[in-house]
């Protein structure tokens, strides 16, 4: 079943606080897609991982865990 509106057109309706995590070397989605998310999702916190590609949770585990915990506790 096709969706009525593409995801990019629905991002502005996300009401929840949103954590956007991006590895600066991610060639799959990376910074260009994260910029769209950050621009369109009203209540977001965008964090760049400077030594990661697509898997910051594996590539910078300690910073990833700290970032998620800080977000959840805020």
Could you report the per-residue pLDDT of 16-70, keeping only the tens digit for each? Answer: 999 999 999 999 999 999 999 999 999 999 999 999 999 999 999 999 999 999 9
Q: Look at residue 1 and tell me whether its pLDDT is greater than 80.
A: no
Distance CA 45, CA 59 (A): 20
Task: Look at residue 30 and tell me if it is in a domain.
Answer: yes
**Per-residue model confidence (pLDDT) at position 3:** 73
Residue 14 dihedral angles phi and psi, to the nearest 5°:
-70, 120
Distance CA 41, CA 29 (A): 17
Task: Look at residue 33 and tell me if it is in a domain.
Answer: yes
| Domain span at 48 | 23-52
Task: Look at residue 39 and tell me if it is in a domain.
Answer: yes
Q: How many domains does the chain have?
A: 1
Task: Look at residue 36 and tell me if it is in a domain.
Answer: yes
Residue 50 dihedral angles phi and psi, to the nearest 5°:
-75, -10
For residues 53 and 29, the answer to whether their CB atoms sit within 8 Å is no
Task: Look at residue 48 and tell me if it is in a domain.
Answer: yes
Other Cβ atoms less than 10 A from the Cβ of 7: the count is 10
């Amino acid at each position: 079943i096709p969706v009525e509106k593409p995801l990019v057109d629905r991002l502005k309706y996300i009401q929840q606080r949103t954590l956007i995590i991006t590895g600066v070397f991610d060639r799959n989605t990376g910074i260009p897609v994260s910029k769209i998310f950050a621009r369109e999702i009203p209540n977001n916190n965008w964090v760049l991982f400077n030594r990661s590609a697509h898997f910051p949770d594996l590539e910078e585990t300690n910073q990833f865990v700290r970032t998620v915990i800080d977000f959840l506790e805020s």
